[in-house]
């Protein structure tokens, strides 16, 4: 069984909303390792304009293994670990802290 770490950046096969096709896109794993085959991920996007509250551009996107400037998108998705194509890197500590703060904001947690 594959094992992924919190703040690991992975390439995931995302289905289109109408389920007619899919594309491989980057995402950040936001759960700690566990026995389930499901992962909680947050999508990343290269569209960095018009971001919503809690969305932000990664400061260290190159160090994280991404090819283009990328932003965290609002939303948490549950995916089966077999949808992960590969791992490309990890968030740096500052970007990981911003993501943690965003998750708290989105979920209205203390």
Q: Residue 2 has what pLDDT?
A: 66
- Decide if 59 is inside a domain: yes
- Decide if 57 is inside a domain: yes
How many structural domains comprise the chain?
1
* Domain span at 87: 8-107
Q: Mean pLDDT over residues 66-85, rounded?
A: 94
Q: Is the pLDDT of residue 78 over 70?
A: yes
- Decide if 87 is inside a domain: yes
Model confidence, pTM: 0.90
CATH code at position 70 = 2.30.30.110
User: Coil, strand, or helix at residue 39?
Assistant: strand
- CA 44, CA 4: separation in Å to the nearest integer? 17
Q: Mean pLDDT of all residues in the chain?
A: 92
Q: Is the pLDDT of residue 14 over 90?
A: no
């Amino acid at each position: 069984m594959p094992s992924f770490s919190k703040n690991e950046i992975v390439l995931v096969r995302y289905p289109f909303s109408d389920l007619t096709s899919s594309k491989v896109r980057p995402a950040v794993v936001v759960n700690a390792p566990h026995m389930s085959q499901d992962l909680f991920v947050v999508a990343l996007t290269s569209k960095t304009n018009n971001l919503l509250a809690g969305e932000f551009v990664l400061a260290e996107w190159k160090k994280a293994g991404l090819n283009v400037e990328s932003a965290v998108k609002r939303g948490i998705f549950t995916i089966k670990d077999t949808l992960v194509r590969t791992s490309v890197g990890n968030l740096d500590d500052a970007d990981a802290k911003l993501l943690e703060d965003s998750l708290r904001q989105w979920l209205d947690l203390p």
